[in-house]
Amino acid sequence: MKPKIEITKDGSSTLVHHKYNAHYHSTFGAIEESDFVYINTGLLYFLSTESGQNLKQSCSVLELGFGTGLNAFNTLLKTEDLPLNIHYLGIETDPVPMDIISQLNYPEQLLASHKTEVFKTMHQTIWEQPNQITKQFVLEKRKQDIMDLKVKNEYNVIYFDAFGPAEQPELWTESVFKRMFEALQPNGVLMTYCAQGAARRAMQSAGFTVTRLPGPPSKRHILRAIKSC
């Protein structure tokens, strides 16, 4: 069965997963959530820190839950004017069919209709290899279990955007967050919309310094975890 398309309160699309009966994004606003949680409080926050300002040529982003590609596309748009190349790895074990992707309204809602073909290209590119999407943005997509990701000190920012603990409890464990901790460079940032106590404690046990922050208007709290030196 294919995921079902719904429109969230900010006018942007989301999907409902047929197996988990869970939404890919906040029903209060898919773009609002992407902007607030992952772009502003995650990526742009990191770039404002000393470590981010010391980056010379590129910034590397890992997303757990590539899904609709909203966070990747939003990252591409928000970093176009920065003097950095973005290397983006999206992990997704259940890719969304292209006929569904073509119905999502992110280019229009992000006032980037002129980049509709770029959004489609991000989904049509070959998996398991880097693809040059724009001059400054390289995307790699992998159909991979997160526990098979064996990299160390490679990423600056992680978007942890899996389905919630109720749907995928196996992804909100200390062992998974240890893998995330290893993947980050020192002072790297992990962002997630989930602020449950068990998730926060799992991150702390993995070595992260975790801060609970105010969420977007529709959500009380979110979590930011830092790999402190």
Q: 170 phi and psi, to 5 degrees? A: -65, -15
In this prediction, residue 41 carries a pLDDT of: 97
Under a CB-based contact definition with an 8 Å cutoff, are residues 107 and 119 in contact? Answer: yes
In a domain, residue 76? The reply is yes
Domain count for the chain: 1
26-54 tens-digit pLDDT: 999 999 999 999 999 999 999 999 999 99
Return the CATH number at 38.
Answer: 3.40.50.150
Under a CB-based contact definition with an 8 Å cutoff, are residues 198 and 206 in contact? Answer: no
* Angle, vertex CA 149, rays to CA 144 and CA 153, nearest 5: 145
In this prediction, residue 1 carries a pLDDT of: 83
Classified as helix, coil or strand, 80 is coil
Domain that holds residue 34: 30-103+115-226
122-154 tens-digit pLDDT: 999 999 999 999 999 999 999 999 989 989 999
In a domain, residue 23? The reply is no
Q: Please indicate, yes or no, whether the overall pTM of this predicted structure exceeds 0.95.
A: yes
Under a CB-based contact definition with an 8 Å cutoff, are residues 3 and 15 in contact? Answer: yes
Under a CB-based contact definition with an 8 Å cutoff, are residues 58 and 42 in contact? Answer: no
Q: Compute the CA torsion angle 77, 82, 84, 87 (nearest 10 deg).
A: -20
Question: How many residues can be counted in the chain?
Answer: 229
Task: Give buried/exposed letters for 109-138 (b at 16+ CB in 10 A, else e).
Answer: bbebeebeebbbebbeeeeeeebebbebbb
DSSP assignment of 173-212, as one string?
Answer: SHHHHHHHHHHEEEEEEEEES---HHHHHHHHHHT-EEEE
The secondary structure element, H or E, covering residue 58 is strand 58-64
User: How far is it, in rounded angstroms, from Cα 151 to Cα 149?
Assistant: 6
In a domain, residue 67? The reply is yes
Which DSSP symbol is given to 20? T
- pLDDT averaged over the chain? 96
Give, rounded to a whole angstrom, the gap between the first and last alpha carbons of the chain.
45
